Amino acid sequence: MPIVKADEEAIRDAAEHLRAGRLVAFPTETVYGLGADATNGQAVAAIFAAKGRPRFNPLIVHVLDVGHAGQHARLTTLARRLIDAFWPGPLTLVLDKRPDSSLSDLVTGGLATLAVRAPDHPVARALLAELGRPLAAPSANRSGRISPTQAAHVAADLGDKVAMILDGGPTAHGLESTIIDARGEVPVQLRPGAIAVETIELVLGDRVVRGDLEPELPNAPGQLASHYAPEAQVRLEARDVRQGEALLAFGPRVPPTDGPVINLSPAGDLTEAAANLFAALRALDASGAPAIAVMPIPDRGLGEAINDRLRRAAAPRGGPTADHFDI
């Protein structure tokens, strides 16, 4: 199993693999990423093959800073304000791609726009600095599965597909970055994530519009694409525990049960709950329980992103749109 503690030597080796077109999984402050040299089309194609993604949806490009972002994307006034406030950090911006960018077209799925962020994790940053090129990196899980917040999660999903897994310990936020379309004057949130929309509104002194990541997808409840899917069935808004169910709890008042229980945050802290979410889903799945009951989680702050991921985990499997959507 290619898990290596992310020291200086390991980071040099990882950059060497990336330069040779191989895949390296690395920690960010949100989740582990499956990285490839974003200027190498063959390497980017290997990401889609490894994840088993059924189509080439666009990937996030990771850069060191605003200077590197500006080589590939047109930075609007809004983008600069957001970058000043939140980079490096878990905020991804969708911007117009520059025609002279050296990125492979496969990274953007042929779109004229680019999703870019500067991660705030010492290992991710050291790797970007050593490589000297942008890194395309989706979450390092097989398509449709739970995102990895620990190196061992990556090994379980993709261990035989990567040259190396850089181990930087458990990730701090535990949820993917917030995605904002910053092409115009009005910010549009395309994916709720590790930075709550309220925090962004506070900094901008302006409303953030809620948009859809993939507006062409039907969003009627029965057709919601299943994603972050554990093996177990997931039942949301549970106020009791039924026969055979494991319990994903939140807060101090937990219904009685003899089955497995993980409390995302006994204190009811949404930041702590976000950091624990994906590892908790994996652990309850591993308990073998056929179903997981999930207690209600407030929809404010990071609760918006947590509930978004839980709804995807609970969505019906195998429908026409299932697995066509990797957020």
Site residues for Mg ion per CB under 5 A: 139, 326
Beta carbon of residue 115, minimum distance to ligand TXA (angstroms, whole number): 3
- Position of minimal CB gap to Mg ion: 139
Where does the chain have alpha helices with state H? Answer: 8-19, 41-51, 66-72, 77-86, 122-131, 151-158, 197-204, 270-286, 303-314
Nearer to Mg ion, 234 or 289 (CB): 234
Q: Which does 248 bind (CB under 5 to 8 A by kind): ligand TXA, Mg ion, none?
A: none
* Residue that the structure tokens 């609007």 belong to: 76
* Cβ pair 195, 33 in contact under 8 A: no
Give me the residues that bind ligand TXA (CB under 6 A), please: 28, 30-31, 33, 57-60, 90, 92, 94, 108, 111, 113-115, 137-139, 176-177, 179, 190, 213, 326-327
- Cβ-closest residue to ligand TXA? 138
Neighbours of 320 (CB within 10 A): 8
Angle, CA 230 vertex, CA 225 and CA 234 arms, to 5°: 75
Report how far Cα 66 is from the mean position of its chain's Cα atoms.
21
CA dist 236 and 186 (Å) reads 33
Estimate the crossing angle of helix 8-19 against helix 122-131, to 10 degrees: 50
Find the shortest distance in angstroms from Cβ 95 to ligand TXA. 8
Binding at 213: pick from ligand TXA, Mg ion, none (beta carbon under 5-8 Å per type): ligand TXA
Q: Among Mg ion, ligand TXA, none, what binds residue 190 when CB lies within 5 to 8 Å by partner kind?
A: ligand TXA
Q: Least Å distance between CB 38 and ligand TXA?
A: 12
Residue 243 beta carbon to ligand TXA: minimum distance, rounded to whole angstroms:
35
Tell how strand 24-27 and strand 32-37 pair up: antiparallel
The nearer residue to ligand TXA, 113 or 199, going by C-beta atoms, is: 113
> Which residues are paired to 24 by β-bridges?
35, 164
Q: In whole angstroms, how close is the CB of 161 to Mg ion at the nearest point?
A: 15
Give 308 or 326: the residue with its C-beta nearer to Mg ion: 326
Closest CB to Mg ion among 51 and 291?
51
